[in-house]
Amino acid sequence: MRSAWFVAGAAAGVYGVVKIRRIAEAFTPDGMRDRIGAAFVGARMLREEVVHGQAEAEIRLRERYGGAHAGPPELGRGAGTPSPETAPIEKGHELS
């Protein structure tokens, strides 16, 4: 039974030394540079994923709602309201 406890203690000691060494290496200048570089890579990957997801969502929405219109949506007009270009000119409001 003593040999099992000895092996368990030795394994815990090795594990602890490895963890402490990794932590110590993380706070060296090279380790900090690696961590900062990894953070920038992760941020760039996240940004690319978000842009890709937005493009896919826009494609799905255009397909779902018949998006033949390629430009930005016109805001402020309700459904069925004619655009200023196609609205009939009322009498008395003609441009001179």
The reported pLDDT for the residue numbered 16 is 95
For the chain, residues with pLDDT lower than 70 are 67-96
Residue 31: count of CB within 10 angstroms of its CB: 14
- Local structure of residue 76 (DSSP, 8 states): S
The reported pLDDT for the residue numbered 67 is 66
Which of helix, strand or coil describes residue 18? Answer: helix
Question: What is the Cα–Cα distance from 58 to 48, expressed in whole angstroms?
Answer: 15
Rg (CA), the chain: 32
Question: What is the Cα–Cα distance from 91 to 77, expressed in whole angstroms?
Answer: 22
Structure tokens of 63?
Answer: 């397909």
The reported pLDDT for the residue numbered 1 is 84
Question: What is the Cα–Cα distance from 38 to 32, expressed in whole angstroms?
Answer: 10
List helix spans (H) across the chain.
Answer: 2-26, 29-64
The reported pLDDT for the residue numbered 50 is 97
Residue whose tokens read 């309700």? 78
The reported pLDDT for the residue numbered 53 is 96
The reported pLDDT for the residue numbered 66 is 81
